Structure 1
Amino acid sequence: MAAPALKHDVYQAIADPTRRKLLTLLADKEMPITEISSCFPITRTAVNKHLHVLSDAGLVSRRKVGRETRYTLQAEPLIELKRWLAFFEQYWDERLFALKELVEADHNSGGEGE
């Protein structure tokens, strides 16, 4: 049986800067919504909506502890993002190598404006 489809993909979920900050905040510890909300200049309702997007993408999990809901980072879905970015590293490496050669060639030819 196939896994249930997520409502939001990882890329859509991390597109928003507030959601990226939420992931960073939850990287170290589980936190209740009240504590999370105090770290942002937006309403608790807005924070809750962002957390739902992250939860729908599988990036955070939530659990009830008494009357409060606690959230924690689930980093596994970020592997997809890491793989996608790794594909493009080769292009950055090539461009940085070409820039290094250009700078060194300019330096060796006396192109420092002396």
Structure 2
Amino acid sequence: MPVIKILPHAEYCPEGATITAAPGTSICEALLDHDIPIEHACDQVCACTTCHVIVREGGRSLSEMEENEEDMLDRAWGLEPDSRLSCQALLRQQDITVEIPKYSINHAKEGK
């Protein structure tokens, strides 16, 4: 199973983490399954950018980006060339390293 290394994020994963997930799992699903509460305001249907991540290593091994994801990413805070919506990026066999950006465009978080 591929390994996902999550770089430290002050709110969601202060110490960073290393998790595994089955190929075909989205990055978002894998993080949530391992109690890393990444935002996903649209319930993982590619209708927002709150689950935006930056893939620091292994990005070429993920599923290809479809047009709707590309269109949504234009709205993401801190967009970089290796940005993906974690709800749309599916794991394959290679390990990856991701960074959760410090901010998102979600102004109304649940429980906040």
After TM superposition, the score normalised by the length of structure 1 is 0.29
1 or 2 for the larger relative contact order (CA 8 Å, sep ≥6)? 2
Q: Which has the higher helix share?
A: 1
Q: Which has the higher strand share?
A: 2
